[in-house]
Structures are given as C-alpha cells and as structure tokens.
C-alpha cells in the first residue's frame, strides 16, 4: 500500500515548523500594541487551536506518560508532564478569559459579553505567567530544538550536499515519542 | 474518528479547567482579592466603558495617557490612535515591539540558565571508572 502524503511527512520536521509557528504566535499574541486588538484576538483563538493540534501531534507521548505517571517513569518525563499540564491549564485560561472579554471576535458573531472585571485580570495574569512557562518549556526541550534546527534549517542552507547522507527518519531526534 | 475523539477529550479537560476557574471566581473571597489588587490595572488595552484614564503595563514600565480609549478599543485596528498624536502609531508599535523583545529575553534568559545548570551538573557529576563500576556490581 502506498503511504499517503501525510504519512510521508517527517514527524520531526513537521513538529519543528509547527512548534516554531506556535512559538512566534505566543510571543506576538501578548503584544496587543503591536498587533492591534483584532489580530490579537484572532491570533489568540488560533493559538488555542494550534495547542490542540500540538497535543494531537504528541498524543502517544501524552497517553504513555499519563498511564505511567504514578508508576515507573523517568524524572525528566514526570517534570515535563507537570510543566505541560500547567501550560495547558494556563493556555485554556488565557483563551477562555480572552473570549469572555472579547471586543472584536465574539461581537462579530453577535455575542457580547461583559468586559473587564475578574476575567480581564485573569487574562493579564495568565498571559504573564504563560511567558515563563513557555520559557521553561523551551528550556526543557532545548537539545531537541538545537538538533532539529541544525538538521532541518542550518544544514540544508549551509551544507546542502550533506543532506543526502541524513537518514529520512531520524529516530534519534524524535525524543518526544520516547520516554 | 480517532482524531475527533482525541479532540473531544482535550476539549473536555479544557472544560473542566474552565469550570473550576469559573467556580473559583464566584467565591467572594477571590472576588475581593482580585478587586483589591487589580482595580484600574490594565496592561493590554483600555476598558471599553471608560472615556479617559491611563493604560499601564503590568510590570509598571509603561504608562500612557489616553483621551480616545473608547473609539480605539472599539475598532482595535489602529492602536496608535490611542496616543492621540501623529506619532501614536510609531510609539504604539515600539511599545508592542518592546513587549515582544521582553518576552523573547525572558525565554532566552530562562533557557540559558537551564542550559548552564544542566551543563554544570553534567560536569560536576562524579564519573565512575570501569573498576568502580565492577566493584559496585559485585557489592
């Protein structure tokens, strides 16, 4: 059976470009003075969708670690799991509180909610907290990021002839799948 | 079908988080605490209901006086208008850019500390010689 186009995609490469896009969006989204409120709100909603896709891409790791969380599990995986859970909770709060105080996206569909108040404070607090969790998330995966950038960004640009020697499915890079 | 089920699981967990948060925010103690700490403390954008006031960053590094908050907040596309002068858009962009750079600096700093910490712990870890390993196995 012929593999489909999606199956032929290199998972590490897909993860790298997708995560890079999420990272840039997560840096831009809090800067409402740079983007404007309209882009800020739609970027935030897009970020929420992107987080779901990110979780789907790492579903195997998620299931494996959830199953083994209270039994035998390497300490680094346990820390990553707790950190990622915090990240998910924080992103959920940011997106939801953002929707609650939305002035552009929801009114477009005729939904007008009360602005300000506790949801606005929660939105601000959660987005400030998000930057630190994002930083820790990046720091915890810096080796993977470094290797992937070297292999899929730097090598093809600076040494394209060596690309042929690189195996198409780099199992060593795909640390997310392994515990 | 499998993906749909997974998405539903993720959304269900998110709903639990939102439900718990909504429950907590209903507590009068939390409302009082948030009200006392957060009154007039808006980092990102001005209140739609107010017509005049100050927009301040959460870190307290920026404070902008604004006379047209309502109109700027309702459109949201031209944040520069909030500054009420011809250099508004430029100032607004600079403020936004500084926020992006600040976030990037936080990520870089935390990553550097983490990398340095892991490198140091790797360097300081006592290395076992083959003889020590065989002795440990025998013990």
B49:A89 CB<8 A: no
Closest approach of chain A CAs to the CA of B125, in angstroms? 17
What's the mean pLDDT in A161-167? 52
Nearest-CA residue of chain A relative to B45? Answer: A32
According to the 3-state scheme, what is the secondary structure of B82-107? HHCCCCHHHHHHHHHHHHHHHHHHHH
Average pLDDT over residues B75-80: 46
When mean pLDDT is compared across A59-68, A158-167, B37-46, B125-134, the lowest value belongs to B37-46
> What mean pLDDT do residues A64-89 have?
90
B42 contacts in chain A (CB < 8 Å): 120, 124
pLDDT given for residue A168 in this prediction:
46
Tokens of B56: 């301040």
* Average pLDDT over all residues of chain A: 83
Residue A118: list chain B partners with CB under 8 A: 25, 30-31, 34-35, 38
Say how far apart CA B83 and CA B129 lie, in whole Å: 67
Of A177 and B137, the one with more pLDDT: B137
In angstroms, the CA B69 to CA B54 distance is: 9
**Of A31 and B67, which is predicted with more confidence?**
A31
The predicted-structure confidence for B79-98, as pLDDT tens digits, reads as follows 444 444 445 566 677 787 88
Closest-CA residue in chain A for B26? A118
Q: Do B21 and A128 make contact, defined as CB atoms within 8 angstroms?
A: no
Q: How many CB pairs under 8 A join A and B?
A: 134
If you average pLDDT over residues A6-18, what whole number do you get? 80
Q: Determine what percent of chain A is predicted with pLDDT higher than 70.
A: 83
Predicted pLDDT at B9: 95
Contacts of residue A119, Cβ cutoff 8 Å, sequence gap at least 6: A97, A100, A101, B25
Instruction: Encode pLDDT of A108-126 as tens digits.
Output: 888 877 666 788 888 999 9
pLDDT value of position A173: 47
| pLDDT surpassing 70 at residue A160 | no
Residue A23 burial (CB < 10 Å; 0-12/13-18/19+)?
middle
* Closest in A89, A123, A132 to B17, CB measured: A89
The pLDDT of residue B24 is 87
Closest Cα partner for A14 from A141, A173, A140?
A: A173
Residue B65's H or E segment, with its range, is strand B63-66
Q: Which of B3, B99, B116 to mutate to test the interface with A (most CBs of A within 10 A)?
A: B99
pLDDT value for A170:
46
The reported pLDDT for the residue numbered B87 is 54
Which tokens hold the place of A42? 């739609």
User: What is the rounded average pLDDT of the residues A96-116?
Assistant: 82
pLDDT for B49 equals 39
Q: What is the pLDDT of residues B10-68, one digit of tens each?
A: 999 999 999 998 888 887 777 777 665 544 444 445 444 333 333 334 443 333 334 34
A112–chain B Cβ distance below 8 A for any pair: no
CA nearest B110 in A: which residue? Answer: A135
């Amino acid at each position: 059976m012929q593999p489909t186009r999606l199956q032929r995609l290199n998972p590490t490469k897909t993860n790298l470009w997708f995560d890079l896009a999420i990272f840039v969006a997560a840096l831009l989204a809090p800067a409402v003075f740079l983007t404007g409120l309209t882009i800020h709100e739609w970027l935030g909603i897009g970020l929420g969708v992107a987080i779901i896709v990110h979780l789907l891409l790492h579903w195997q790791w998620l299931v494996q670690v959830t199953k083994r969380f209270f039994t035998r599990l390497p300490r680094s995986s346990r820390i990553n799991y707790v950190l990622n859970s915090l990240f998910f909770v924080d992103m959920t709060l940011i997106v939801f509180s953002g929707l609650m105080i939305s002035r552009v996206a929801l009114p477009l569909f005729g939904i007008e909610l009360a602005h300000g108040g506790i949801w606005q404070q929660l939105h601000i607090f959660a987005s400030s907290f998000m930057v630190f969790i994002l930083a820790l998330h990046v720091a915890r995966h810096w080796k993977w990021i470094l290797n992937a950038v070297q292999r899929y960004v730097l090598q093809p640009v600076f040494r394209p002839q060596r690309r042929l020697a690189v195996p198409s499915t780099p199992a060593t890079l795909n640390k997310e799948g392994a515990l | 079908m499998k993906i749909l089920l997974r998405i539903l699981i993720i959304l269900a967990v998110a709903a639990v988080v939102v439900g718990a948060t909504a429950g907590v925010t209903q507590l009068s103690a939390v409302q009082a605490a948030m009200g006392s700490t957060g009154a007039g403390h808006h980092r990102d954008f001005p209140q739609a209901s107010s017509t005049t006031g100050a927009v301040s960053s959460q870190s307290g590094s920026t404070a902008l006086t604004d006379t047209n908050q309502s109109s700027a907040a309702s459109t949201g596309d031209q944040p520069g208008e909030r500054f009420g002068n011809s250099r508004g858009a430029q100032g607004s962009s600079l403020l936004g850019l500084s926020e992006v750079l600040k976030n990037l600096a936080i990520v870089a700093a935390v990553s550097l500390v983490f990398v340095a910490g892991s490198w140091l712990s790797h360097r300081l870890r006592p290395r076992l010689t083959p003889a020590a390993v065989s002795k440990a196995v025998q013990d």
